[in-house]
Structure 1
């Protein structure tokens, strides 16, 4: 299955070339997330990521420079956090659920779960956890008001990870495949919102 789109003139994409839309980079990051989640760092190869992404290894080197740099990109939760937290506190619970669903659709997978399912060695897991605490849990705690902000942020992060795990474990024919994002938000967001509000 190709993960890139053809050029604007409608001609087919040539494997190993960089699409003008930037999807080449997106495909590389998706393939790298999958690879670093399923295998220890030492077993992941640039050639394997390139094959999964449908691009040439030289394009990965051009875009990221090295396997270490690519891993650091995969270990970055900042962009997902920007979108997840882009709502005022009174609407954050529902926004979190809808955004999680949208990010899953856009990226072909959950934006946060790699922090849980990584099979890397301890140093890699430590880096992922540290980035997650800083960019997701810590950032959220700083945005919450009222008592126990840190605890509530950890519980919200846990709820989001639980939602992602549930949707992943029950695909492709689970209930979530028959429910809209709005319906998921109807059911799941009230509990998140209570944690946001601190009540």
Structure 2
């Protein structure tokens, strides 16, 4: 083999394809059962490209277990419009990236160490970060409930495939779902 990428994989999309395939693999199978070759086959790239881009299976797992980039996109709105932004961004990310940016924290099958790492990173990078953005009482509890609503939306859209959620536009989903999220963000009593 010459070290070239397989046909049909552009240089700019190889990394994204690898990350999507790795997220699927680490979510659906325990870490010990995941191989670089299986990820490469799913991504349509060579295993050597994965090693070149990420170095090792462990480093690839740690990249996949990082919720920071998803959090950056999800929380990029002021509190007054954050609920709608969260729903729209989550739906867009699911549709564009062909996977949910948050659900891997729930459905990962790894051993206790891997699941613990995912849960700790989720709490640190999603829930605690959101709690710091919220004003008013019970910000940590409200952040946990908001995370639960987002996970619930992702799970619902995954479970009911094909379903109304796939036919609905992101705007329609936000019109229906965002008010509940926004109420927790603002902490209002009304």
| Fold shared per TM-score above 0.5 | yes
CA positional deviation for 1:19: 2.3
Equivalent residue number for residue 24 of structure 1: 14
Whether 1:36 and 2:26 are equivalent positions in the alignment is yes
Match of 1:187 among 168, 176, 182: 176
Q: Residues 42-61 of structure 1: CA distance to partner in whole angstroms, max 9, x if unpaired? A: 00000000000000000000
Q: Which has the higher helix share?
A: 2
Whether 1:50 and 2:40 are equivalent positions in the alignment is yes
Q: TM-score, normalized by length of structure 1?
A: 0.90
Cα distance in 2, alignment partners of residues 51 and 159 from structure 1:
34
Higher relative contact order (CA 8 A, sep 6+): 2
Equivalent residue number for residue 197 of structure 1: 186
Q: TM-score, normalized by length of structure 2?
A: 0.95
Please identify runs of 4+ aligned residues in structure 1 that moved more than 3 A: none
Matches within 5 A, 1:166-181: 166-171=156-161, 173-181=162-170
Cα distance in 2, alignment partners of residues 17 and 198 from structure 1:
49
Match of 1:144 among 117, 134, 137: 134
Whether 1:86 and 2:67 are equivalent positions in the alignment is no
Unaligned runs of at least 5 residues, structure 1: 1-12
Equivalent residue number for residue 98 of structure 1: 88
Alpha carbons of 1:14 and 1:124: their partners in 2 closer, same or farther (altered >3 Å)?
A: closer
Cα distance in 1, alignment partners of residues 137 and 5 from structure 2:
56
Superposed CA RMSD in Å reads 1.4
Cα distance in 2, alignment partners of residues 99 and 164 from structure 1:
12
Unaligned runs of at least 5 residues, structure 2: none
Cα distance in 2, alignment partners of residues 168 and 16 from structure 1:
31
Cα distance in 2, alignment partners of residues 18 and 177 from structure 1:
27
Cα distance in 1, alignment partners of residues 9 and 47 from structure 2:
12
Cα distance in 1, alignment partners of residues 5 and 51 from structure 2:
18
Cα distance in 2, alignment partners of residues 30 and 15 from structure 1:
17
Q: How many residues align?
A: 185
Q: Residues 108-155 of structure 1: CA distance to partner in whole angstroms, max 9, x if unpaired? A: 011000000001100000000000000000000000010000000000
Kindly indicate whether the alpha-carbon contact (under 8 Å) linking 1:87 and 1:95 is maintained by their aligned counterparts in 2: yes
